[in-house]
Copies of this chain bind each other. A is one copy, B any other.
Amino acid sequence: MSFFLTPVSIAFILVLLGWIFKSERPGKKTDDESKTKPEYHPWVDEDLKDSTENHQTEDVDEFHESEENLEHVPFSSPRFPEHEMIRRSQEFYELLNQRRSVRFISDEPVPRQVIDNVIKTAGTAPSGAHTEPWSFVVVQDEEVKHKIRVIIEDEEEINYKKRMGDRWVNDLKKLRTNWIKEYLDTAPFLILIFKKIYGITSSGRKKTHYYNEISVSIACGILLAALQNTGLVTVTTTPLNCGPRLRTLLDRPANEKLLMLLPVGYPRKDATVPDLKRKTLEEIMVVV
């Protein structure tokens, strides 16, 4: 009995090694690919992370950094007596508390000047490093509105059908009300809000706009308040998967991503809203 490796066993070992490393390769490659292009779950990933817990040494207090080198000027603002402050805050609450998301929008025309004013108001929002990373695309053209509707209903139908699976066939009527968005045709104005995810420096380099999503969402909050103050209605929509097609349709640059779409107009006479309740102050506020 030989104690040495035989040619056959050496050949066997070599084949075995070759097989092991060959079978390893594709696995390794897949891992590498999944590292550079990780599978991406949109809101899920974002929602599970904690942006406040990460170290970031390059960008300190980016909301204000650009102001560091600016000259300061005196600030003054109107001051109300206490009872007046309380009254104003109470009235503003009552006004805003009437706001509801309304999907039944009349086709009656709305003065363009009102739209200009509410967008100017949204543009007063604070933003990271005062980048003002927003674009408001106001669509009044009937044809463009209809093209937007086709794109959004297309994608929504896919979303609903995929999601509902077999159920959708039996539940078609209810579904139709979900993916059919008549207001995209009837509302006299659609406001599409894009966030500018980066800017271009004077030297031609991309400059990330930190906090752009938060900044633009704050501006949208102010826009909703401004609309409510005029008596117009809207509904906050975030069309899924439509960003690239809408960006192309509206000829927006590559650094702009769709954040929100607001159809704006008067409510239809037969408008209804779901019978929702809001949380009480005690449920949303803690005082320390």
User: In the complex the two chains form, is A96's CB within 8 Å of B54's CB?
Assistant: no
User: In the complex the two chains form, is A271's CB within 8 Å of B221's CB?
Assistant: no
A52-B259, A96-B124, A219-B221 known; 19 other A-B pairs, CB under 8 Å? A1-B2, A2-B2, A4-B8, A42-B54, A52-B239, A52-B257, A60-B240, A63-B101, A74-B270, A75-B271, A76-B271, A77-B231, A78-B98, A93-B120, A97-B120, A120-B281, A138-B287, A217-B220, A222-B224
Q: Which residues of chain B are near A134, meaning CB under 8 Å?
A: 284
8 Å CB interface, A232-282 against B: 232-233, 235-244, 250, 257-260, 266-267, 270-276, 278-279, 281
Query: In whole Å, how far is A43's beta carbon from the nearest beta carbon of chain B?
Result: 5
Chain A 1-28, CB-CB to B under 8 Å as 1, else 0, gives 1111111111011001100100010000
Asked whether A185 is an interface residue with its Cβ less than 8 Å from the other chain, the reply is no
Query: In whole Å, how far is A188's beta carbon from the nearest beta carbon of chain B?
Result: 12
Asked whether A132 is an interface residue with its Cβ less than 8 Å from the other chain, the reply is yes
Q: Which residues of chain B are near A226, meaning CB under 8 Å?
A: 89, 92-93, 96, 225
- What are 21 contact pairs spanning A and B, CB under 8 A? A48-B198, A51-B257, A60-B163, A61-B156, A72-B272, A72-B275, A75-B102, A77-B231, A85-B232, A89-B229, A96-B222, A97-B124, A116-B285, A119-B281, A119-B285, A123-B278, A125-B221, A128-B238, A138-B286, A218-B224, A219-B221
Asked whether A166 is an interface residue with its Cβ less than 8 Å from the other chain, the reply is no
Q: Which residues of chain B are near A159, meaning CB under 8 Å?
A: 56-57, 60-61
Closest B residue to A83 by CB, please name it. B111
Asked whether A150 is an interface residue with its Cβ less than 8 Å from the other chain, the reply is no
A99-B124 contact, Cβ under 8 Å, with A111-B82, A163-B58, A244-B52: yes
User: In the complex the two chains form, is A288's CB within 8 Å of B56's CB?
Assistant: no
8 Å CB interface, A55-101 against B: 55-64, 67-68, 70-80, 82, 85-86, 88-90, 92-93, 96-101
Q: Which residues of chain B are near A41, meaning CB under 8 Å?
A: 54, 56
Query: In whole Å, how far is A63's beta carbon from the nearest beta carbon of chain B?
Result: 6
Cα(A118)–Cα(B68), bound, Å: 30
User: In the complex the two chains form, is A237's CB within 8 Å of B80's CB?
Assistant: no
